[in-house]
Amino acid sequence: MQELLLLIIAYLLGSIPTSVWVSKHFFGIDIRDYGSGNAGATNTFRVLGQKWGIFVMAVDIAKGAAAGLLVFTLQKYASHDTLQRTNLMIGLGLAAVLGHIFPIFANFKGGKGVATLFGAIIALQPAVAGCCVGVFLLVLYLTRFVSLSSIFSGIAFAVLILFIFNDNSTFYRIFSIAVALMLVLTHQKNINRLLKGTENKVPILKFRDKRKRRKRKNTDE
């Protein structure tokens, strides 16, 4: 019964529609009517700018982390690092992601849940989360495609759990595979746009592109 209550709380935490509330309160719009139509950090970067994109991403990550850490409110899980605690943390993280995708506070129309999922992984296993961040930032630096960065970091997560950290929790191993598949499936439209060359890049690292254009221009001259 206590575990069920925590799962409900985790879902409600995930349901906090950060980008929707920010866009309505500070800009008088519903971000879901602009850009990709998603209520997530990437669309916030695209529509509202870098400052608000970072804020929304930070809060969405915090939602997932807070949901996972709810496990420590129960004494039987807080005192020992058990397989049951790992499984419950995964369940709480998934509940938060479900809340982000289908938020009760925003007519069940949310984002893709990548940032919230990442927050849950931070709570569950910070070392793995750090490795995934490294993969995400590397791909982002090379391509400036958030969608591609998310997909690669999801695949990296599965590889880390299955082969490098080699976690002994069957549920965790299945969860890692599910995460990788989920990120690929939820980014199908992005993958199609990537293949067509029409995917939008995030407005960061523009200095690098300008520098490349200047070098190319100097070479041509």
Residue 42: the pLDDT is 86
Residues 94 and 181 in one domain: no
What CA–CA distances, in Å, run from 200 to 11, 46, 86, 203? 31, 9, 37, 9
Predicted pLDDT at 204: 65
pLDDT value at residue 206 = 59
Q: How many CA atoms lie within 13 A of 170 on its CB side?
A: 0
Which residue, of 96, 124, 152, is where some domain finishes? Answer: 124
User: What range defines the domain where residue 41 resides?
Assistant: 1-124
Last residue of a domain, one of 80, 95, 124: 124
The answer on pLDDT for 157 being more than 60 is yes
Alpha helices (H) in the chain, listed in sequence order: 2-14, 18-27, 41-48, 50-69, 75-78, 83-101, 114-124, 126-143, 146-159, 170-186, 188-196, 206-220
Same domain, 1 and 106: yes
Dihedral Cα 206, 209, 213, 214, nearest 10 deg:
60
Q: Report residue 213 as tokens.
A: 């254009």
For the chain, how many structural domains are there in total? 2
Same domain, 131 and 55: no
pLDDT greater at residue 169 or residue 191: 191
pLDDT digits (tens, 9 = 90+) for 168-190: 889 999 999 999 998 999 889 88
- Are residue 93 and residue 167 in the same domain, yes or no? no
Q: What is the pTM of this model?
A: 0.85
Report the amino acid identity of residue 98: L
Q: What is the mean pLDDT of the chain?
A: 90
What is the Cα 119 distance to its own chain's centre? 7
Q: What is the identity of the amino acid at 132? A: C
- 141 with 95, same domain: the answer is no
User: Rounded to an integer, what distance in angstroms lies between the CA atom of residue 206 and that of residue 26?
Assistant: 26
The vertex-121 CA angle with 118 and 122, nearest 5°, equals: 90
- DSSP string across 123-157: HH-HHHHHHHHHHHHHHHHHH--HHHHHHHHHHHH
Q: With contact defined as beta carbons under 8 Å apart, do 152 and 139 qualify?
A: yes
Task: Based on the fold, state whether residues 172 and 216 are members of the same structural domain.
Answer: yes
- pLDDT tens per residue across span 63-115: 999 999 999 999 888 877 788 899 999 999 999 999 999 999 999 999 989 89
Question: Quick one: 132 and 196 in the same domain?
Answer: yes
Q: Is the pLDDT of residue 217 over 70?
A: no
Average pLDDT over residues 36-48: 90
Are 113 and 134 part of one and the same domain? no
Shared domain check, 150 and 169: yes
CA 61 to chain centre: 7
pLDDT band (50, 70, 90) for residue 28: very high
Same domain for 157 and 105, yes or no, is: no
User: Closest Cα to residue 74, out of 147, 2, 22, 21?
Assistant: 2
The answer to whether residues 78 and 158 belong to one domain is no
As a whole number of angstroms, the distance between CA 50 and CA 42 comes to 10
Looking at 94, 124, 154, which one is the last position of a domain? 124
Q: What integer pLDDT is reported at residue 205 of this predicted model?
A: 59
Q: Is it the case that residue 207 has pLDDT exceeding 80? A: no
Shared-domain flag, residues 80 and 30: yes
Structure-token match 């990709």, residue found? 36
